Amino acid sequence: MTPTQLRAFHLVAEAGSFSAAARAAGLSQPNLSGQVTALEKAYGVRLFDRRGRSVTPTETGRQLHGVTTRLFALQDEAQALLLGERALTRGHLRIAADSAHHVVPIMAALRKRAGGLTFALSIDNSAVVLERLLRHEADVAVMAKSLSDPRLHAVRLRTDRLVLFAPAGHALAKRGRTPLSALNDQELVLRERGSITREVLEQAMAAADIRPASIVEVQTREGVREAVAAGFGVGAVFASELGEDRRFRRIVITDQDLAVAEYAVCLQERRRVALVRAFMDEATRLAS
């Protein structure tokens, strides 16, 4: 195996096709294809399932991609160390977040610092965000999840609080403030399991022996809002994310402090990679 073959494989695994990898790397498609084919023949393995113009890593390919991701991350770290504090001018940063609300200001600050940077932002619940980071599918993450993992480095961005919301005509919306016990026998609209919003609310209700009449589970934050607007029940959201919407009224929980911190996170082993370090630096600056 040669470094060129591994790099070719890694580029294709990242891009999802030979043509896209060739365009991104400024190489010819036959060159990349030849390098990957040579690697497969040398070890008698199949690394990709070819399906039209796209490719999907086989199980062996998926495992090798994990290795090459760590390998080239270390290479990036070595380069960052040698370059020292040289200003960033270009690069591509993969970000996973549980909400765009907290991560976009960091992205904007980075873009102002280095206009040549590009970003890929994926939004999901905190459990999926953490998994993507640990599997090296994201360079950095922003999420509301308490962390005590030695593999991770985290910067606390801010503290947010859970609030309820309901259509303006709902009985709880007319109050504006309510104890948590008011959720007894109420219909609720919540995110899927793995969402910190749901986890925090369900833990508080379980501790107080509060039992809602039903829970409608919706995959996205936007879906929760639309379901609440359609009258399916009371929703829960972090205060900073509710925004202004005439369809809803905010309902403050009076007897529980459902506070959750939001964190910017990266892998400890990648803290010195130039783009990762720049992101965490901006997160620290904005947090202060």
pLDDT tens readout for residues 200-248: 999 999 999 999 999 999 988 889 999 999 999 999 988 888 888 889 9
Instruction: Check residue 85 and give its pLDDT.
Output: 46
Q: What is the pLDDT of residue 242?
A: 84
Question: How many Cβ atoms from other residues are within 10 Å of residue 135's Cβ?
Answer: 12
**In this structure, are residues 90 and 117 in contact, taking their beta carbons and an 8 Å threshold?**
yes
Please answer whether residues 165 and 191 qualify as being in contact, where contact means their C-beta atoms are separated by less than 8 angstroms.
Answer: no
SS3 117: strand
Can you list the residues of the chain whose pLDDT is less than 70? 77, 80-89
What is the reported pLDDT for 87? 53
For residue 229, which of 251, 249, 252, 247 has the smallest C-alpha distance?
247
Residue-level pLDDT at 216: 94
Report the candidate in 22, 24, 52 with the shortest Cα–Cα distance to residue 36: 22
- DSSP lists the bridge partners of residue 279 as none
Nearest to 282 by CA among 149, 155, 172: 155
**pLDDT score at 213:** 95
> What pTM value is reported for the model?
0.63
Q: Do 214 and 188 touch, CB atoms closer than 8 A?
A: yes
pLDDT given at position 70: 84
Task: Decide: residue 203, CB within 10 A, 0-12 exposed, 13-18 middle, 19+ buried.
Answer: exposed
Query: Do residues 256 and 180 touch, judged by C-beta distance below 8 A?
Result: yes
Please check whether residue 267 is in contact with residue 139, taking contact to mean a CB–CB distance below 8 angstroms: no
pLDDT at 89: 64
C-alpha distances in angstroms, 212 versus 118, 189, 201? Answer: 44, 10, 11
